[in-house]
């Protein structure tokens, strides 16, 4: 099985980015490209994921993930409302 997802922007992080609740806020960079996954996510068998994108300034971004063969685990992460209290 093969799945493809188009990319329309990259979210770039760095230690110099502003922070909200102690976490850096990524900068959105308009980009074009795609990610392709081979394997069957529903069966928890992902073989690999490859992504390639180019931003509007010509910079290229690439990702390669290759599975070690163990079944994938799915974790649900819920976004909470930002805190208005800064402990520092």
In a domain, 52, yes or no: yes
DSSP string, 20-60: ETTEEPPEEEEEEEEEEEEEETTTTEEEEEEEEEEETTS-E
Residue 68, Ramachandran bin (φ over 0: left; ψ between -120 and 50: alpha; else beta): alpha
In a domain, 80, yes or no: no
pLDDT at 32: 97
- Token couple for 82: 């930002």
pLDDT at 84: 59
The b/e string for 56-75 (b: 16+ C-beta within 10 A; e otherwise) is: eeeeeeeeeeeeeeeeeeee
In a domain, 62, yes or no: yes
Domain count, the chain: 1
pLDDT at 82: 63
In a domain, 76, yes or no: no
Structural domain containing residue 62? 2-15+24-66
pLDDT at 88: 45
In a domain, 83, yes or no: no
Q: Print pLDDT tens along the chain (88 aa).
A: 889 999 999 988 887 888 888 888 898 999 999 999 999 878 888 899 999 999 999 999 999 999 998 888 878 877 776 665 555 4
């Amino acid at each position: 099985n093969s799945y493809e997802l188009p990319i329309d922007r990259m979210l770039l992080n760095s230690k110099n980015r502003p922070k909200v609740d102690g976490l850096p806020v990524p900068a959105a960079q308009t980009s074009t490209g795609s990610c392709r996954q081979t394997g069957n996510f529903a069966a928890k068998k992902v073989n690999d994921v490859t992504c390639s994108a180019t931003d509007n300034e010509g910079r290229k971004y690439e990702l390669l993930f290759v599975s070690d063969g163990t079944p994938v685990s799915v974790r649900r992460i819920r976004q909470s409302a930002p805190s208005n209290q800064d402990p520092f």
